[in-house]
Structure formats: structure tokens, C-alpha cells
């Protein structure tokens, strides 16, 4: 027997922040990215509330220390509602704070509503049971997984993503594509996760270039915000897909590159993506008659997206070509050497990155088993 379940209630579209009015009579702890506080964007959230406190110490790739400080803020304020506002870093930090905070004597057994409001369109964290926390000393990112971390409510207001600069729109958009593709070929994929992944992947090809080109300004009118809105929903759909189907080798490597070199998460995924697709597809010579399950799924996907070929081989190649074209359209760096990482440092870290990759939980659902040699080869190609 199989199951598809996601408990998060999703409010989306212009005006969806008004759902927060439901919390007016409650004490709310708002965990926010400092950018939102400095830019004043947080006002869109707090103007709906009456009694609130803001915890704004979130940093990209949230470290363990931040979680500890956050738990102290949680215990000091004792909110009835926790509201995470920001990119994946803010939402993940809030998830970990709540997850560990709930296990303290003070909060055990207390009910607390958790709402997540993404302000980037990439991680899908607003609907997932994942939280990625970094140990900066070891240079490792740990994907924590627990169904209890899924937010009760997600609010997708496209007006909150109109200020995202092009480069962040590009990075986070490639995170959506990677989530969709990894979920689609995952060993845990089902027709339900495929449907969500397919829609998200389709929307990335259609809307990401337009979304990156959209001028970053605080309030685009609704029509101009459409590509950004579609990417915002695509991010959430990909999140629903991978929350159930999980991810794969791409994320396992990206977590370790990100932990060591702080390459933005979506960019690390984007650089690795063509190499991982090639590895998973496992195309060999032209005489090949049997194709791997992943190759067949990539080919099926290419067909559904309108760029299928005459055979599995040509369809996979077309998919790779389209990924390459998309990356060029959004000016994504294609190699880690273009991300300011020194070759000597990269090589010195390769062994540890491979070790971390092989023990990352995301690798368990990759469609093709990857050993140390395969990871080393992908690392070499992507530099
Ligand atoms: P992020 O949260 O680190 O934010 C990136 C930058 O965007 C920050 O500088 C932030 O201040 C800025 N920003 C956020 N909203 C903005 C806005 N509206 N306008 C302008 N700037 C804005 O980046 P992210 O890609 O959203 O999240 C990455 C993190 O999420 C990584 O740690 C990654 O490992 C994790 N992640 C989690 C999941 C999950 O399911 N929990 C999935 C994928 C990735």
C-alpha cells in the first residue's frame, strides 16, 4: 500500500496574507530573515497581527548556534503561533527551533500553530518535513527530516517575491527544477508526486527566464508579477513532490558543497544538475537497447514537455540541451570554478565532500547507486 499525504493548508495569491488575521488574538513569534526587517517588507506580515515579537537573527544556511538562540527566544516569549517569514534559511531555522523547543520541559504537550511564509521561490520548505541545518565547524549541512516539522499553514503571496534580485531568482528557480527532477526519478516517486513534479518542472521552463528578467521592485502590479507568482507556486508544488518522494544524489552533493564553500544552495544544485542527470541516465553507446529506469523517466518527461526525441537516448539528450539552454538564459555559472572556489581548496575538500555525500539521507532514493568513484567523477566534471 502506498500513501500520499501533506497536512499543510496552503493559502495563495494576492491578498493571502490576510489569513494572518486569524491569529490577531494570539501571541505570535515571527522568525524572519533580517533583510525583511531592514527592507520594511516584514510590515506586510506584522500589520495583520496584534501581539508579536520578531526574532530576526537568521543567516543563510542556518547554523546550529542559531537554533539554540532561537530556542531561548521561543521559551522566553512562549508564543501560541510561530510564523516563519523569509527564504528557506528562515523557514528551516524556525522548523528546527520549534522541533527542539517542543521537546523542552516548558513546551512539552503544548499546542502551537506553525505558519510559513516564503519570500524566495525555491526550497518549498513551507510544505516539507525537511530542515537543513549547518555545522559550520565541520562544514556539513544536515538535512533533518521529521513529519512533525511540516508547517500547519503555508502562505504564498507573490507580492513578497517581487523584490527578489535576479541572481537570487535564478539560483532559487534552479532549486525548484532540481527538486522536480529528483522527485520525478526518485525510487519513491508515485503518480501523485509525478503530477506535482511535472507541473513544477514545466513551469520552471516556461516562467523562470521571465521571472529572472522581471525588474526587482517592491510592488509590481499583479499582471507583471505573474512569472514570479508561477515560480512561487512551482516551488511549492516541487516541495510537495519531494516531501513525499524525497530527493537524490544532486542534493546529497549540494549539501556538502554548500556546507564547505557556501555556494548558494540553488546554484550548487544547478551546476551539478547536468552531470547528475547524465550519471543517472547511464547512457552508453549507440548499440544500447536496455535503458535504466531513470533514463526512461527522463525521456518520458522530455516528451511531456514537448521536446521528446525519436528514442530514449535522444529524448534524454534533448532534456539536457533544454537544461543547458535554460541555464544560459538565466546566466547561471556552469562550473564551481566560476563561483570563486580555488582549485586547490576544491580538490582538498573532495574526499570529505564525497564522504558526506555518501552518508547524506537524500542519496537513499537516487535512482542509480552512486559509489565514491562516481561522486568523485561528478565533482571533477562540475569544477
Ligand atoms: P535563503 O533563505 O538563504 O535566502 C537567500 C537570500 O535571499 C538571503 O540573503 C535573503 O536575505 C534574501 N531574500 C529572501 N527573501 C527576499 C526577498 N523577498 N527579496 C530580496 N531578498 C530576499 O535562500 P533559499 O534558497 O530560499 O534557502 C536556502 C536554504 O534552504 C539552504 O540552507 C538550503 O539547504 C535550504 N533548503 C531547505 C529545503 C527544505 O525542504 N527545508 C529544501 C531546499 C533547500
Please choose from 44, 56, 57, 86 the residue to mutate so as to test ligand 1's pocket, defined by most ligand atoms within 8 A of CB: 86
In the listed set 137, 160, 183, which residue is the last one of a domain according to the structure?
160
pLDDT > 90 in the chain, percent: 92
Q: pLDDT digits over 37-62, tens only?
A: 999 999 999 999 999 999 999 999 99
Q: Is there a single domain that holds both residue 207 and residue 231?
A: yes
Q: What is the pLDDT confidence band of residue 225, given thresholds at 50, 70 and 90?
A: confident
Q: Which domain covers residue 188, as residue numbers? A: 165-383
pLDDT on residue 283 = 93
For 286-342, how does the pLDDT look when each residue is reduced to its tens digit (9 = 90+)? Answer: 777 899 999 999 999 999 999 999 999 999 999 999 999 999 999 999 999 999 999
CATH code of the domain in which 279 resides: 1.20.1090.10
pLDDT attached to residue 146: 96
Among residues 121, 96, 117, the alpha carbon closest in space to that of 46 is found at: 117
pTM: 0.96
> What pLDDT is attached to residue 224?
78
Confidence of residue 168 (pLDDT cuts 50, 70, 90): very high
**Atom nearest to 168 CA in ligand 1:** 7
Task: Determine how β-strand 130-135 pairs with β-strand 140-145.
Answer: antiparallel
State residue 87's pLDDT score. Answer: 97
- Residue 47 class from Cβ within 10 Å (0-12 exposed, 13-18 middle, 19+ buried)? exposed
pLDDT at 379: 98
The reported pLDDT for the residue numbered 296 is 97
Is 265 buried (19+), middle (13-18) or exposed (0-12) by CB count in 10 A? buried
- Does residue 164's CB lie within 6 angstroms of at least one atom of ligand 1? yes
Domain boundary among 109, 131, 160: 160
pLDDT, one tens digit per residue, over 238-256 is 999 999 999 999 999 999 9
**Domain harbouring 106, CATH code:** 3.40.50.1970
Q: Where is the domain boundary, 110, 143, 160? A: 160
Query: What is the C-alpha to C-alpha distance for residues 118 and 262, in angstroms, rounded to an integer?
Result: 21
Q: Is 317 a domain residue?
A: yes
Cα–Cα distance for residue pair 331/170, rounded to 1 Å? 8
- Give the tens place of pLDDT for each residue, 75-130: 999 999 999 999 999 999 999 999 999 999 999 989 999 999 999 999 999 999 99
Among protein residues, the one with the nearest Cα to ligand 1's atom 44 is 123
Inform me whether the pLDDT recorded for 222 exceeds 80. Answer: no
Q: Does residue 227 have its Cβ closer than 6 Å to ligand 1?
A: no
What integer is the mean pLDDT of 61-65?
94
| Cα four-point dihedral sign 79, 81, 86, 91 | positive
Does 1 map to a domain?
no
223 plus 103 within the same structural domain: no
Pair (226, 150) in one structural domain: no
The number of the ligand 1 atom at minimal distance from the alpha carbon of 124 is 40
Amino acid at each position: 500500500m502506498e500513501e500520499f499525504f501533506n497536512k499543510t493548508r496552503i493559502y495563495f495569491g494576492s491578498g493571502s496574507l490576510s489569513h494572518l488575521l486569524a491569529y490577531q488574538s494570539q501571541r505570535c513569534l515571527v522568525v524572519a530573515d533580517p533583510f525583511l526587517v531592514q527592507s520594511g517588507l516584514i510590515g506586510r506580515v506584522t500589520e495583520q497581527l496584534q501581539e508579536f515579537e520578531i526574532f530576526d537573527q537568521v543567516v543563510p544556511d542556518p547554523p546550529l548556534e542559531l537554533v539554540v538562540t532561537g530556542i531561548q527566544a521561543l521559551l522566553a516569549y512562549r508564543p501560541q503561533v510561530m510564523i516563519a517569514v523569509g527564504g528557506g534559511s528562515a523557514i528551516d531555522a524556525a522548523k528546527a527551533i520549534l522541533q527542539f523547543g517542543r521537546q523542552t520541559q516548558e513546551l512539552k504537550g503544548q499546542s502551537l500553530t506553525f505558519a510559513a511564509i516564503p519570500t524566495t521561490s525555491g526550497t518549498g520548505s513551507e510544505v516539507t518535513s525537511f530542515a537543513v541545518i549547518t555545522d559550520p565547524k565541520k562544514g556539513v549541512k544536515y538535512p533533518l527530516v521529521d513529519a512533525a516539522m511540516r508547517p500547519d499553514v503555508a502562505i504564498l503571496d507573490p507580492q513578497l517575491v517581487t523584490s527578489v534580485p535576479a541572481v537570487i531568482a535564478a539560483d532559487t528557480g534552479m532549486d525548484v527544477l532540481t527538486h522536480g527532477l529528483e522527485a520525478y526519478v526518485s525510487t519513491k516517486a508515485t503518480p501523485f508526486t509525478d503530477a506535482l513534479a511535472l507541473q513544477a518542472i514545466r513551469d520552471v521552463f516556461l516562467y523562470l527566464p521571465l521571472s529572472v528578467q522581471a525588474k526587482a521592485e517592491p510592488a509590481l502590479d499583479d499582471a507583471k508579477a505573474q512569472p514570479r507568482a508561477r515560480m512561487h507556486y512551482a516551488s511549492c508544488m516541487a516541495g510537495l513532490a519531494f516531501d513525499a518522494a524525497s530527493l537524490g544524489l544532486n542534493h546529497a552533493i549540494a549539501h556538502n558543497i554548500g556546507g564547505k564553500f557556501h555556494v548558494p544552495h540553488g546554484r550548487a544544485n544547478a551546476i551539478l544538475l547536468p552531470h547528475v542527470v547524465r550519471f543517472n541516465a547511464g547512457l552508453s553507446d549507440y548499440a544500447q537497447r536496455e535503458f535504466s529506469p531513470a533514463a526512461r523517466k527522463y525521456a518520458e518527461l522530455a516528451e511531456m514537455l514537448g521536446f521528446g526525441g525519436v528514442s530514449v537516448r535522444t529524448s534524454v539528450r534533448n532534456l539536457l540541451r533544454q537544461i543547458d539552454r535554460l541555464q544560459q538564459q538565466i546566466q547561471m555559472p556552469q562550473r564551481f570554478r566560476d563561483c570563486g572556489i580555488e582549485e586547490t581548496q576544491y580538490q582538498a575538500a573532495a574526499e570529505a565532500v564525497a564522504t558526506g555525500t555518501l552518508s547524506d539521507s537524500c542519496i537513499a532514493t537516487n535512482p542509480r547507486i552512486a559509489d565514491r568513484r562516481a561522486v568523485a567523477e561528478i565533482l571533477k566534471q562540475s569544477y
